[in-house]
Structure 1
């Protein structure tokens, strides 16, 4: 119950703050902004409050107490000092807004299915989808380190003794909701579902702001689930019969493969799996859209002197009265603030993002930088960027401090292509997004000057995706494509609307037939890629009532560090404790210097010198040593394990006599 009260306060707080600065065009726009803005602000608010009590028995308890008290007071103060009646939309606009809410409801239900189909809890067992299992090892461990541990100051659970350098605030908030009463699956899924739904509501708003078209917004949001790849072609060619196709779909557990041999395809890089494994991604894009939509509304005012936008003929043809010619600030309180304060606030939202998702911040700065050059209001946008830098740079310095130097060049041509050329890059783009390019071209061709400039600014992300490298893992450049596609989908939708309305020789039949065919071609791959999610098997881990989890929570300090096998997922991590050295890929991805830790880890598990081992255990504040069959069998880095040393010199405090946990034995370090 406390978790839901917390969320309600976060949303109301977000609304009380955001509506002072943001111009809204609809109720869905308002509440999507309130949720995402409130989520970001409340997460920082609670985290910083908890950070004030790092040595208390439960820092999160005090963080929540401070948040509940101060946030409630802030809401009351804001409402008391800012009592302004919000005008309501006219009856016609309200009628069509009901359709928006219906579409958003469908998105919500579909998001519920996706999130719970890949992460759930039943009968005390934590269930993780097979495709999400590797990434969830890292993110769920971060979540649990707050929910069940006391991870203040914050370290990565896979790499203790060093401050965290990963984007963790979303998972902190998920852990906080678990701390307030939800189970791990529900706490993570609720944030993920609401974030995805809010993102799609903002995509709908983007379509309306760009083209004054609710239809384009709704279709653009729906296309979020369909990437448009031509990978369905080799898949369908491989099927010998219709019954064979149905059989393949019913048992399909792998995502579509292009046959081109590019990395990431088996992982589902062009499917919804991106958002299912990276649960903080949707909310991050949504926060960026809040700022971009705000700027687009301001640009329209600057260019049209606040004149009402004309309703478009194609929307009247598709749904009479669907457009709203009064797309102004009927829900806005922003006009009552100073001329620069809304831009300062948007800079604050952007500046708070490095700990939420720094990659999206980088992508957003690319778009904003080009908008600064291509649009008016340069002074205001410079203020926005300055505030962003003021808040973001200290966080970026913090995240980079102590991190191992990257062994890569910033300039990298070709993304994942082995022997890239302009021709292969173009082929990759054409194959990856298929017939969306055609509809996108139609949408851009029928767009106005403002819409074309915005599309050009967003499309710079494609150039950066193919020409730069920000991390050692070039695959992470997929975020450039994902963010660009969210924006481009609105242009695809507008192109579809224009094509639907096109009349050739006084008839619209050919154009509508072409539009229907194009809808099939851009959605079929995404539809097929939903089958691996539906057919995915769960990998289960004991959690609720699990013997080892309960023992760790009851008998060890919440800040305890374990020396163990380099686990990806384990009950020790689910209990909120940290590992000296977890799965090396994710430890390294989080900025840990794995090359320096490897020899220390090897010495701790292979040295026969008790004095040397004890010195290292104390140096790295290791309180428990867990030895199980993977260590004994030399499966990983360890080839000659020294378990007799620990057995002879340290107290055995837990033994897996029933062989439920690979015969684990846990020794306590005095």
Structure 2
């Protein structure tokens, strides 16, 4: 009950904040509407709905977190009680006073802007069907890959690896007191991973919403909100409802040469039909493509990415007003571009208060999804090149960076990222032609074809937007920020989502012409989607019955750990991914190494220490290492090995007290 109230109040508060951001700053909005694509062509109810969820969730999440942290520092054992109580009461009081004041003044609680949200009622009816269908589909697919039934948590094979650290983080809040926040798979240190979406879900579970419902509800709303904004941006750029819908189709189903390579390979092997029918792994012929790096699976296993993109899309929507102004100037060619830099109006602020507010919200998103924020800033950098009002962009960027840096100083010991030049991303051949061929293999004509699209687009604003949307993908091929270059795939995915707008436009342009053009449009649509369609078939197969990892949610082991271990404890375990131990939310010395390594932790050192602790026959060495590493509990699993090293329980048992043993005797825990 309290969880539902929390969500509803966050939406109502978010609506009030969103209307301040979206419907103030008339200078920018009126100029943007007079020039370029008219924003009134879009039903802004969808923009407001997405913004209400995103902004409300951000403010509620951070406010709850900070108050709870303060309560924890003051000695509260269940600090979320204080954070939620304060947020719910204050918000309810403020909203009641606001509605009462508005009602006394106007006779209604609705604002003037609320009455102008639907400008095209005919399109609105179609959009209701579209987003209603998306809501049903997203709800189904989210619960298909992650759900609880009869006390068992089920996670599909293609997603459970990412859910392991995420659910552990959620449980560290709903079942524990993870303040100041640590990374459960590498406890005892700082938190280098953006964790606020997981905090939100954990808090909702704390408020009484079952874990799968909490995770899936927020995931559905985040992805649906992003798709509403992506559709609205597409419709604004193309003035076409059909292109907006087709953009969403291209978003779900990726372009690649992989399916054609796959078909050719298995035709030669004469097993194509059997393989198409039975295959349960993602197809791919480039590095890590078979992980599902480029398909819809990314939005299923990294659900916080959609939330980050929702906020990014909101800021992009807002700053399209600035882009409209710059692109509407009458100069041509190099003169126009020169005047975007060397005139007073090119730099003069248009609406600095909106830029400041947008920068704050974008910066606050850093610990919800940092990659989305970086990708968004790169796109806005492109916008700034072609826009007037560049000082507003500077305000936006500076504010975002300040808020991001502030968060990293609070949560991370040392530097948040380690930037370096890294040419070629995951391509094996780092020559220019090798990288280009990698791009073609990975995405088909999708990215390389944008060179043609730039010349086909008729409006300056469209060309400017297309070039800007390419910036994150370009960044992925030149810069590395973490030890794992593969994480740069998110920047390419961000570019992909927005560039889909222009391929949708191109398809609609072809389809509106003669029969030959329509045939070309159909063939092009097949080329752009067939690999993604087959990927989706694999998602369904690889997360269906017999393809799910299960965890007992009523485990005595989980309950014991939750009851006896605190945030200050550090438990040494095997390299667990997702199981009854991680579901307790305890801080593990080191869980599955890849999670922590890719986040920037020194897993090699801890792996070496853990191997020694588990295998040594020297009692003094054991005691020295355990004390040095501040390990308070050691979990031993019958017959376990650690990093292929045989483990000796007898040394541990001779030094430390046995405090817990499972009924089947498989797991024993020693207190140090």
Give the structure-2-normalised TM-score. 0.86
* Residue 650 of structure 1 pairs with residue 656 of structure 2: yes
SS in 2 for 1:158: helix
RMSD in angstroms over aligned alpha carbons? 2.7
The residue number in structure 1 matching 2:155 is: 128
Q: 1:434 aligns with which of 424, 435, 444?
A: 444
The residue number in structure 2 matching 1:73 is: 93
Give the structure-1-normalised TM-score. 0.87
Instruction: List aligned pairs for 1:97-246, cutoff 5 A.
Output: 97-240=124-267
Distance 2:117 2:413 in 1: 54
Say whether the 8 Å CA contact 1:209–1:297 is kept in structure 2. Answer: no
The residue number in structure 1 matching 2:296 is: 272
The residue number in structure 2 matching 1:37 is: 55
* Residue 483 of structure 1 pairs with residue 482 of structure 2: no
Distance 1:340 1:386 in 2: 12
The residue number in structure 2 matching 1:8 is: 8
Say whether the 8 Å CA contact 2:173–2:202 is kept in structure 1. Answer: yes
SS in 1 for 2:420: coil
Distance 2:370 2:98 in 1: 30
Distance 1:118 1:176 in 2: 22
Shift of 1:195: 1.1
Say whether the 8 Å CA contact 1:653–1:667 is kept in structure 2. Answer: yes
Shift of 1:76: 3.5
Matched residue count? 621
Distance 1:434 1:206 in 2: 24
Distance 1:47 1:166 in 2: 16
Q: 1:596 aligns with which of 602, 605, 618?
A: 605
The residue number in structure 1 matching 2:671 is: 668
The residue number in structure 2 matching 1:526 is: 532
Larger displacement relative to structure 2 (170-179 or 608-617): 608-617
Q: Deviations over 1:471-498 (max 9, x none)?
A: 1111111112100011100111111111
* Residue 636 of structure 1 pairs with residue 636 of structure 2: no
Shift of 1:140: 1.4
Shift of 1:385: 1.5
Instruction: List aligned pairs for 1:536-615, cutoff 5 A.
Output: 536=542, 537-557=546-566, 560-610=569-619, 613-614=622-623
Larger displacement relative to structure 2 (159-168 or 510-519): 510-519
Distance 2:84 2:159 in 1: 30
Say whether the 8 Å CA contact 1:439–1:492 is kept in structure 2. Answer: no
Shift of 1:424: 2.0
* Residue 28 of structure 1 pairs with residue 43 of structure 2: no
Large movers: runs of 4+ above 6 Å: none
Distance 2:99 2:399 in 1: 26
Shift of 1:215: 2.1
SS in 2 for 1:540: strand
Residues 405, 525 of structure 1: alpha-carbon distance in 2 compared, 3 angstrom cutoff: closer
Residues 381, 15 of structure 1: alpha-carbon distance in 2 compared, 3 angstrom cutoff: same
The residue number in structure 2 matching 1:348 is: 360
* Residue 447 of structure 1 pairs with residue 476 of structure 2: no
Shift of 1:282: 1.0
Residues 587, 216 of structure 1: alpha-carbon distance in 2 compared, 3 angstrom cutoff: same
In the alignment, structure 2 segments of 5+ residues that lack a partner are 24-38, 106-110, 330-349
SS in 2 for 1:356: coil
The residue number in structure 2 matching 1:61 is: 81
Say whether the 8 Å CA contact 1:118–1:132 is kept in structure 2. Answer: yes
SS in 2 for 1:127: strand
Distance 1:144 1:351 in 2: 26
SS in 2 for 1:255: coil
